[in-house]
Structure 1
């Protein structure tokens, strides 16, 4: 019997992850514990002296207003990895470079390439500070343009029961600190979820996300903050 893997990320990423899990021989169970919502972007938030753009999340592009992309599309765009680079091209950026899949490594690459410059950073309201901190330490002025927010969800008991289907969960994939906190709340407040999931290993995208889970969980952290590394931790599907 295939191992059942709970996917806590929101769509469209959840559906994409489910397809990957099925191809690997796992049984995906979708239970989104966060969602992304677009934020209004003021015209004056776009720096007129920017010489490049950086994107570390495909959600920043998905929620970016078309007018914002139009104002920045003539600048070279530095994307954190392959999927984000693809999203940048589809959004309308003409010159897109693909980073190594890690925000810190992308910051180091940008610092070498740009020197002292002003960088427009398409991002979420909730984000890791390391990317901006590393660039700032190298003399680059980073102007964050927040295009979306991440909201924790508390799914109703009937929906949780429906998704779990009365069968134990073997593994849980957790992609954000908001989802981790929501997962902890779910386990505290939903007795059936606690019973079916408590024995599962929680695979987290980073140490910061793992720390948001709290105590009492079997946790493994991906060696690199990307889905490939996360799924590698799962091992064999049965």
Structure 2
């Protein structure tokens, strides 16, 4: 166990399980404490011919889209992160580009190449993106809802620990749940925007260089070595 600090992973499944497994391989004492759960919502498939590309910003969209996703298989996929790209390929889609930055950076790259009509298969709760003059149509196919913290939550946050925030919503919920305990909690956010959503007062607050697990866990490793308990 690196530095004696436990790592609390709050993202929904199945991503939670994957992050815990990656952390364990690095020797980190990781605990699955999901604070959200994903679910499918009803959606109607538009005509693929009306769009030039499909934007996917989360693997959750692929997991919850259902069989009608195959009707969009003619569209080249632009995916944020390798996990989303891998999920798209597994679903039979063709990935044209995998962005290693955030969703806005990927959208900027698409529009710079004159991709004009973009379908964004997304969640019910989503960040605003600037289409830079292109037509961007958000279409929600899933929702990520808060769930009650696991029984172990109270004891885990009562002592020094490192928490991961994979979205602005998760950062805000973590902040609300830990309250004054944040003074002894270190928080690692997937991006600077997510770190900003967490507010102030943490023992340490850091944003990953790249919006992926590898970058976040590298920070966790450094924080555990740096501070211990």
CA-CA distance at 1:128 after TM superposition = 2.3
Change (3 A) 1:177 1:46: farther
Aligned to 1:224: 210
Aligned to 2:67: 66
Normalised to the residue count of structure 1, the TM-score between the two structures is 0.82
1:110-189 equivalent positions in 2, closer than 5 A:
110-113=110-113, 115=114, 117-130=116-129, 133=130, 136-137=131-132, 139-155=133-149, 158-161=151-154, 164=156, 168-188=159-179
Cα displacement string for residues 31-80 of structure 1 (whole angstroms, at most 9, x for unaligned residues)? 1112222111024x55641122111111111111211x121101211222
Tell me which of 202, 209, 213 is aligned to 2:198: 213
Aligned residues: 220
3-state SS in 2 of match to 1:233: helix
Separation of aligned partners in 2, 1:108 and 1:180: 25
Matched, 1:38 2:40: yes
Separation of aligned partners in 2, 1:63 and 1:118: 23
3-state SS in 1 of match to 2:140: strand
Aligned to 1:7: 9
Cα displacement string for residues 160-179 of structure 1 (whole angstroms, at most 9, x for unaligned residues)? 257x3x98343111111222
Matched, 1:84 2:84: yes
Structure 1: gaps spanning 5 or more residues: none
Separation of aligned partners in 2, 1:58 and 1:81: 9
Normalised to the residue count of structure 2, the TM-score between the two structures is 0.84
CA-CA distance at 1:185 after TM superposition = 2.5
Change (3 A) 1:167 1:226: same
Cα displacement string for residues 94-119 of structure 1 (whole angstroms, at most 9, x for unaligned residues)? x2123232223322321233x15211
* Structural RMSD (CA): 2.4
CA-CA distance at 1:225 after TM superposition = 2.2
Cα displacement string for residues 119-138 of structure 1 (whole angstroms, at most 9, x for unaligned residues)? 111111222223xx1xx32x
**1:51–1:119 CA contact under 8 A, matched in 2:** yes
Moved more, 73-82 or 7-16: 73-82
Separation of aligned partners in 1, 2:106 and 2:170: 25
Matched, 1:202 2:187: yes
Separation of aligned partners in 1, 2:110 and 2:184: 43
Aligned to 1:101: 100
Change (3 A) 1:167 1:129: closer
